[in-house]
Amino acid sequence: MDIAAAILLFAAMLVGALLLTHILMGMQLPRKLILLHAACFIPGLLLLILYAILTDQPERQVDTLVVISVTALVGLYLFLRVKKNQPVRKWLAILYQALGMAGVMWLFTYVLP
């Protein structure tokens, strides 16, 4: 379950990197990429939460859940700005990608050993 969450969150991170390149080049964000990003992220987050609840050592996953939850809040804010056709701030998109990468790398430190 933790490996599946790591794979889904890694895929979401890669799709997020594609979205970041669109933002930095000033291009319009493709709706299908946004939906693919959400389709990878939401099940990955749910699997991670479920794994943290079911495992013997949930404290190992709490740090990762906090980082990824903060990332989800920033992502929700960015999504709402895109939905309202407001410009996305580039620094916030970079911060979002950095938080997502940090969360996934942090998760890998628990999954790989």
Over residues 33-73, the pLDDT tens digits come to 999 999 999 999 999 888 888 887 777 778 888 888 899 99
Q: Read off the amino acid at residue 71.
A: T
Q: What is the mean pLDDT of residues 84-108?
A: 91
Q: What is the pTM of this model?
A: 0.88
Is 20:95 a contact under the CB 8 Å cutoff? no
Q: Is 86 helix (H, G, I), strand (E, B) or coil?
A: coil
The reported pLDDT for the residue numbered 40 is 95
Distance CA 83, CA 43 (A): 22
**In the chain, pLDDT over 90 holds for what percent of residues?**
59
State which residues form the domain around 12.
2-111
Angle at 104 between CA 16 and CA 82, to 5 degrees: 25
Alpha-carbon distance values, 44 to 26, 34, 36, 72, 107 (Å): 29, 15, 12, 12, 11
Number of domains in the chain: 1
The answer, yes or no, to whether residue 6 has pLDDT greater than 80, is: yes
When pLDDT is cut at 50, 70 and 90, the band that residue 32 belongs to is very high
